[in-house]
Structure formats: structure tokens, C-alpha cells
């Protein structure tokens, strides 16, 4: 298994020890060619509007849209926003890779960042989106204060929070994503 991490902006390197702990190789994705040899893509947390600008600058929009049609992908926070069907507060382009609607910064400002435990694994919410609508084919793997925070649809996964910042390797979310990638690889 070879994993790609979209590395245009945001929290990229914190994923490395999780992937190392799981014994998989990985590459930083910064161009269309980098998508060719990967079995699954992690879209990291960061600033989704900045990522969108850079996706345009590097002409990656249609290659990413094609990737999402068949390959496994996991969006984290800003990555979840990029993968959503619909984005508000404010509205912006999204790839419609997973059937959820998200409200950007829906938990409040930077000052409202917080930690939560998911099955005893601590994760960070940093200006996180609220997942406020979920399609019928989307499964909810975890909730927090009445909202889904970890969802799956087929070989797509999205988390409103950051698990990669927790220095306990590997996170259960990295483990789960690699299961989806393995299943897709057959
Ligand atoms: N608030 C950011 C956005 O809208 C996401 C924050 C994050 O990824 N931690 O893109």
C-alpha cells in the first residue's frame, strides 16, 4: 500500500509517524503525477480556501475529481470541507466526494478549539467544520455534541477533527483508513 498526502498547505508531516507505525509507504502529493501511483489519498487539515486556490494554481482540480470517482480518500477538517457535497459559511467549491453538508468553522473561532476523546483516543478540533447534513448512504462512526464527526461512505472517510496531532501512533482513524484502502485494493 502506498498512501498520498495532499501537501499544498496544512498539517502534512504529523501524519508521517502514524503511517510509519502502520508500516506503509507514503508520498507528498503536490502535482497531478503524484496521484498516479497511490492507493489512497489523505486530504489534511489546514485552510480549505487556501488549498482550493493552490489546487487551481497547480491545475489539479480535474485530476482530483477523477481520483475521487474510484479511489479511497480521507478528509480531515479542511480536507472534509474539500470532499463535502455542500459547503456553507461561506459557500465555496467542493468535490462532492462524500454526501455530507458542512458548515465551516461551525464550532466557533480559533478560541473555541477543543479536544475530545473518541473511544479513549484524544483528538483535536481546530476551527472545525460542523457536519450538519448526512446522505442516506453515509455511515456515522462517531458523534460529538449531537453532530457526526467521523463518517464513511464506500471508500471515502471524513473526520471533522485532527487525530494526527495526537502523539500516540498509530491513531485508530489511520488504522481504519488503511482498512478501506486495503479493501479497495482487493
Ligand atoms: N476552518 C478551516 C477551513 O475552513 C479548517 C480548519 C482545519 O482544517 N483545522 O478550511
CA of 46 to the centre of ligand 1 (A): 5
Q: Is 72 in the pocket of ligand 1 (CB under 6 A)?
A: no
Helices (H) and strands (E) in the chain, counts: 5, 12
Would you give per-residue pLDDT tens digits along the chain (186 residues)? Answer: 999 999 999 999 999 999 999 999 999 999 999 999 999 999 999 999 999 999 999 999 999 999 999 999 999 999 999 999 999 999 999 999 999 999 999 998 756 789 999 999 999 999 999 999 999 999 999 999 899 999 999 999 999 999 999 999 999 999 999 999 999 998
Yes or no: domain 2-185 corresponds to CATH 3.40.50.2000: no
Q: Which of 96, 85, 8 is nearest to 51 (CA)?
A: 8
- Based on the residue annotation, tell me whether 162 is a catalytic residue of this protein: yes
Gap between the Cα atoms of 113 and 105, Å rounded: 10
Alpha carbon 116 to chain centroid, angstroms: 18
Atom of ligand 1 nearest to the CA of 126: 9
Q: Where are the domains of the chain?
A: 2-185
Cell numbers 498539517: residue? 11
Q: Is 84 in the pocket of ligand 1 (CB under 6 A)?
A: no
Q: Which of 48, 126, 33 is nearest to 83 (CA)?
A: 48
Amino acid at each position: 500500500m502506498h498512501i498520498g498526502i495532499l501537501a499544498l498547505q496544512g498539517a502534512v508531516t504529523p501524519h508521517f509517524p502514524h503511517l510509519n507505525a502502520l508500516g506503509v509507504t507514503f508520498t507528498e502529493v503536490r502535482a497531478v503525477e503524484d496521484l498516479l501511483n497511490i492507493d489512497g489519498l489523505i486530504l489534511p487539515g489546514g485552510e480549505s480556501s487556501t488549498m482550493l486556490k493552490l489546487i487551481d494554481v497547480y491545475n489539479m482540480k480535474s485530476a482530483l475529481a477523477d481520483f475521487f470517482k474510484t479511489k479511497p480518500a480521507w478528509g480531515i477538517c479542511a480536507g472534509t470541507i474539500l470532499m463535502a457535497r455542500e459547503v456553507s459559511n461561506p459557500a465555496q467549491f467542493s468535490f462532492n466526494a462524500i454526501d455530507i453538508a458542512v458548515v465551516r468553522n461551525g464550532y466557533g473561532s480559533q478560541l473555541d478549539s477543543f479536544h475530545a476523546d473518541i473511544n479513549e483516543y484524544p483528538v483535536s478540533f481546530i476551527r472545525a467544520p460542523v457536519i450538519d447534513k448526512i446522505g442516506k448512504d453515509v455511515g456515522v462512526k462517531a458523534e460529538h455534541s449531537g453532530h457526526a464527526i467521523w463518517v464513511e461512505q464506500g471508500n471515502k472517510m471524513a473526520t471533522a477533527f485532527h487525530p494526527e496531532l495526537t502523539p500516540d501512533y498509530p491513531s485508530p482513524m489511520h488504522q481504519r483508513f488503511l482498512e478501506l484502502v486495503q479493501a479497495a485494493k482487493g
